[in-house]
Amino acid sequence: MKATTRLFILLALLAAAVFFLYGEPLAGLVSATLHREDSSHGIFVPFLSGYFVWLKRDRLRKAQLRCSFLPGGVLAAAAFILLYSAHGSKEIMLPILSFLLLTAGLTLTLFGWQLCKEVIFPIFFLVTMVPLPATVYSRLAEWMRSLTTAGCVGFTQLLHLPIYRDGFTLYLPNISLLVAPSCSGVRYLLSFFVFSLAYAFVLKKSAIARILVVLASVPIAIIAGVLRLSSIALAAYYIGPFMAGHKPHIIVSWLVFGVVLFSAITVDQLASRIGRQSTV
């Protein structure tokens, strides 16, 4: 069977699955990605997955195609069991995971393991588009809220800023700032985690290096959250209370995200270069 025929069968089966089984959760995923601020990073995920596949294009051309009915069928069966277990739930995590598992199972069935192993990460990377369950998200938000608020107060006090904290309210002589759950830095945490997965997959070769990069996304997100709150507090005090408004707030948030992301990549690249030179 030719590769184009296998691909056509795969796409036809997935289209049927979407039409009969997965239409509602996939529509919910698209809606969440476009309209929920906590899922805004999901817009970039399909493009990253496509880029991962493109990087593997030479390996994919050379892969030996061989149908693997038994292991592929097991994955497909697991996908349907997962979908059935999610019946009646309002969360879309399990249905989307089921769809990705079905995609992997059909790919394995039609193309074999040699090709499937090259696309397995790009397929399951798509799960990072899915919004976290509300309870998990709220707990992460509160955890980040506590850390970033405490870090902001400590950091700005080192800079001799006259700041006082009462719970999650920060008092300055000219303004009081409430650190809401949406300002906790949890979006930084999710975004840095997703991009660390992409960075590790593309630029790191060993499993240990990839794990370290992904783990590093947590302290990096916390640092970014602290710098963001601190920047807003400093700007509100030294420039004016209007700097805590919506538009300056957004500008500061994106600026801090970009600076921290660029700095983290730069530090990692320098450390990798020094490590390579030391082994020569």
pLDDT digits (tens, 9 = 90+) for 32-68: 888 776 667 888 999 999 999 999 999 999 999 999 9
List Cβ neighbours of 3 (8 Å cut-off, separation of 6 or more).
Answer: 65, 111
Are 131 and 38 contacting, i.e. CB atoms less than 8 angstroms apart? yes
Mean of pLDDT values over 77-82: 95
**Whole-number average pLDDT of the chain:** 91
Identify the residue whose tokens are 């999901």.
Answer: 42
Please check the confidence at residue 91 and state whether its pLDDT lies above 70. yes
Question: pLDDT exceeding 90 applies to what percent of the chain?
Answer: 76
Rounded to the nearest 10 degrees, the angle between the axes of helix 3-17 and helix 93-111 is: 160
Distance CA 264, CA 192 (A): 10
Please check the confidence at residue 150 and state whether its pLDDT lies above 80. yes
Distance CA 88, CA 6 (A): 34
pLDDT in tens, 217-261: 999 999 999 999 999 999 999 999 988 888 888 899 999 999 999
Instruction: Specify the amino acid at residue 259.
Output: V
List Cβ neighbours of 155 (8 Å cut-off, separation of 6 or more).
Answer: 226, 227, 230
Instruction: Specify the amino acid at residue 106.
Output: L
HSE of 230 in the Cβ direction (CA atoms, 13 Å)? 21
Mean of pLDDT values over 173-195: 91
Compute CA distances 237 → 13, 55, 104, 154, 248, whole Å.
59, 48, 53, 16, 14
Phi-psi region of 169 (alpha: psi -120 to 50; beta: other; left: phi over 0): beta
Return the bridge partners of 165, or none: 170
The secondary structure of residue 67, as a DSSP letter, is -
pTM of the prediction? 0.90
- What is the number of residues in the chain? 280
Please check the confidence at residue 279 and state whether its pLDDT lies above 70. no
Distance CA 41, CA 241 (A): 29
Q: What is the pLDDT of residue 204?
A: 92
